[in-house]
Structure 1
Amino acid sequence: MIAPATRSKKTGFPPGSLVHIGKKKTQITTIKVIEYNEEAFEEREAKTVEECFGKKAKTVKWINIDGIHDIGVIEKIGKHFDMHPLMLEDILNTEQRPKIEYYDGHIFIVLKTLEYYDIYGELKVEQISLIVGPDFVITFMERESTIFDSVKARLRSGKGRIRKHGSDYLAYTLLDAIVDNYFVILEKLGDKIEDLEENLIKNPTAKTLNKIQGLKKDMIFLRRSLWPLREVIKAFEREEVPLIKKATKIYLKDVYDHTIQVIDTVETYRDLVSGMLDIYLSSISNRMNEVMKTLTIISTIFIPLTFLAGIYGMNFRYMPELEWKNGYLLFWIIILVVLVIMVKYFKRQKWI
């Protein structure tokens, strides 16, 4: 959700105005370029924006920009590739909802991905924007990430189909990498849920409740990211767009199936976490009941003992038992007998 102060940055600006909305997550904007075909591969880092513009014949170019806060860089890239101003506006707005839009000669996709960045294992939301052209793909990321490392490795090695196909297939592999990353996140969340379940059974504390609430928050993040992602991939697969070949659409169906699988897993985890909250509350209630039960039993045992002690603690002048030689010893014998009888009765009733 965009904070009001962040929204106010765009107040009064016409549509298509370039204003960066969101946190600045890296100090330097880096541009990396990969060009390839079936026979050749070249990878380099562009020191200036202009260095990424040149292109060899019969190659596919992938331009990756890490850090989208530099409006000048985004504007130059948009101008060179003839991007619509609304596309550039959405790229700079990191609070965009995942979507897919079609422009003349371009497909514009906005997606969300989740990654663990800090030592505390907190889940962070990142926005990735993709521009797919006839022979190029441009990715805009908030900061440097390892999410596409597997795609880069496949391009370098030349193994598989990726270097035999065009920009549409590259876009598919990038989408596939984003969906696969959700499986990695789910695996980590699954481990956290297992550890929390064990802790919940053995020794639930207030810290356990905080962890459950943290997991519920993670589930909300996942659902908000995945449901629009499903619609984006479905639209990408179904739309009749010249940039997307029929052969690529077959692979997009596979990505869509993976997305559904991830969503199903998230729903399962969500139910588990909700169940864990119920278990926690029941466990705390049971512990409180056990404490109350123990205190009640102790109080009940002492009722007849207090009654006997109260009788012989009264200030009557004539009490025959007080004159008995073994009266004091007899009093304690009666107390112990009553105590034993009550304890045995409670055990027979399975109250203790």
Structure 2
Amino acid sequence: MAYFSKHYHAPGTAPGTLVSSDSDHKMSIHLIDYSGDHVEEQRLATAEECQDYLERDSKTWIQINGPVDANTLRALGDMFDLHDLALEDVLNSGQRPKMELYDDQVFLIAAMPMFDGERLEVVQVSLFAGADYLICLCPLEEDPFEPVRKRIRQPNNRRFTSRGIDYLLYAMLDLITDSAFPVLETFGDKLEEMEIELLEHPRKQTLTALHHLKRELLMLRRVLWPQREALTTLMRMENSLIHQDTLIYFRDCQDHSIQIIELLESFRDMATSMLDIYLSSISQKTNDTMRVLTIIATIFIPLTFIVGVYGMNFEHPDSPWAMPELGWYYGYPMVWGLIIAVTAGLIWFFKRRNWM
């Protein structure tokens, strides 16, 4: 995961400049037109094919997956009167989640977190919502909004198809918001495994993984915190696009966003405290090692003194200061007995003091 992952224009570029990014993935356009009991789906080759659906008295959802090229984006901009700055934000990946109101349409940039194997990835999803249309641009080649499409396809699902485009916008934002829960669940499992490992067998590899996890949590907080603010702004704005009976659904979506931020903050605090656990575990392990070495050294100090005394070998038959033990018949076993007695006494003393 790079520290800086934003696609941007060169400084001094005119506002509204559209420059396509290089990618090997293919772009696909999926259109759903619905009203009441009517649901129609089409795979489109170009954006210009959407023109026929604009004249109908229905709701139109245009889903573009994969990297969108500048020509397709210009065609959509001319067809739906999309603002140049909003189109520029679509191509410039790494944008901060936000909500912009342009006359009779709403432009939203949302962040969808997901795991690509073992790597955290934050996908920028751009949404344009008007009175009877919604345009969603997602850089992923595989469509993550298939669950919403299945709900529209359900027979007699008038609860969805009879509502305005604001309910479809809620369904999309709800899916984007709730995509953070599986990611946080994975983070929780990782933190639990790291905590057990830090308490039992702290290693440098665990510390490296912990720093990587803290970095991912920080990046996730950076993108999800403004997304909560964007949802709050969307709920409080005075616009005819959001109907009163749909606000309760947006409030539920905002509630999920608040829960996610709270979980994220608690995980960040846990990761920070686990760093203290690692340092304490390493310090405790060092103290245990030093205690064992100190006990061994303390035991050998008197033993070294004993063998040092009897290793001087000062012996003279006429001197009263000579060592009489050197001539004893059981002198050598006596020294070994003294060494064993001193060792046993020290071990008993250490255990009595709970030092070992």
TM (norm. structure 1) is 0.93
- The answer to whether the 8 A contact 1:26-1:143 is kept is no
- The answer to whether the 8 A contact 1:25-1:142 is kept is no
Counterpart of 1:309, as a letter, is: V
* 2:116 aligned with 1:112: no
> Would the alpha carbon gap of residues 189 and 131 (structure 1) be closer, same or farther in structure 2, given more than 3 Å must change?
same
Matches within 5 A, 1:290-309: 290-309=288-307
Deviations 1:48-84 (A, max 9, x none): 2222332162221111111235111111111111111
Q: Distance in 2 between matches of 1:25 and 1:210?
A: 32
Q: Deviation of residue 100 (structure 1)? A: 0.5
Match of 2:138 among 135, 141, 145: 141
- The answer to whether the 8 A contact 1:117-1:124 is kept is yes
Q: Deviation of residue 222 (structure 1)? A: 2.0
* 2:56 aligned with 1:52: no
Partner secondary structure for residue 350 of structure 2: helix
- The answer to whether the 8 A contact 2:19-2:70 is kept is yes
Larger radius of gyration: 2
Q: Deviation of residue 2 (structure 1)? A: 4.6
- The answer to whether the 8 A contact 1:25-1:143 is kept is no
**Who is 1:213 aligned against?**
211
> Would the alpha carbon gap of residues 3 and 192 (structure 1) be closer, same or farther in structure 2, given more than 3 Å must change?
closer
Q: Distance in 2 between matches of 1:194 and 1:210?
A: 16
Q: Deviation of residue 3 (structure 1)? A: 6.5
Counterpart of 1:13, as a letter, is: T
**Who is 1:17 aligned against?**
17
**Who is 2:26 aligned against?**
28
Matches within 5 A, 1:67-86: 67-86=66-85
Q: Distance in 2 between matches of 1:172 and 1:216?
A: 31
- The answer to whether the 8 A contact 1:20-1:93 is kept is no
Q: Deviation of residue 293 (structure 1)? A: 0.7
> Would the alpha carbon gap of residues 61 and 123 (structure 1) be closer, same or farther in structure 2, given more than 3 Å must change?
same
Q: Deviation of residue 298 (structure 1)? A: 0.4
* 2:92 aligned with 1:100: no
- The answer to whether the 8 A contact 1:154-1:160 is kept is no
- The answer to whether the 8 A contact 2:5-2:94 is kept is no
Q: Distance in 1 between matches of 2:158 and 2:231?
A: 22
Q: Deviation of residue 289 (structure 1)? A: 0.8
**Who is 2:261 aligned against?**
263
Q: Deviation of residue 94 (structure 1)? A: 0.5
Q: Distance in 2 between matches of 1:125 and 1:199?
A: 28
Q: Deviation of residue 316 (structure 1)? A: 2.3
- The answer to whether the 8 A contact 1:78-1:88 is kept is yes
**Who is 2:270 aligned against?**
272
- The answer to whether the 8 A contact 1:17-1:89 is kept is yes
> Would the alpha carbon gap of residues 273 and 201 (structure 1) be closer, same or farther in structure 2, given more than 3 Å must change?
same
- The answer to whether the 8 A contact 2:97-2:109 is kept is yes
Q: Deviation of residue 315 (structure 1)? A: 4.3
- Give unpaired runs (5+ residues) of structure 2: 316-321
Q: Distance in 2 between matches of 1:92 and 1:150?
A: 26
TM (norm. structure 2) is 0.92
**Who is 1:339 aligned against?**
343
Aligned identity (percent) is 41
- The answer to whether the 8 A contact 1:26-1:67 is kept is no
Cα RMSD for the two superposed structures: 1.8
Deviations 1:296-315 (A, max 9, x none): 11001100001111111124
Q: Deviation of residue 105 (structure 1)? A: 2.1
- The answer to whether the 8 A contact 1:129-1:139 is kept is yes
Partner secondary structure for residue 10 of structure 1: coil
Deviations 1:228-285 (A, max 9, x none): 0111000000000121111111211111111111111111111111111111111111
Q: Distance in 1 between matches of 2:65 and 2:32?
A: 14
* 2:83 aligned with 1:124: no
Instruction: Between 37-46 and 229-238, report the one with greater CA deviation.
Output: 37-46
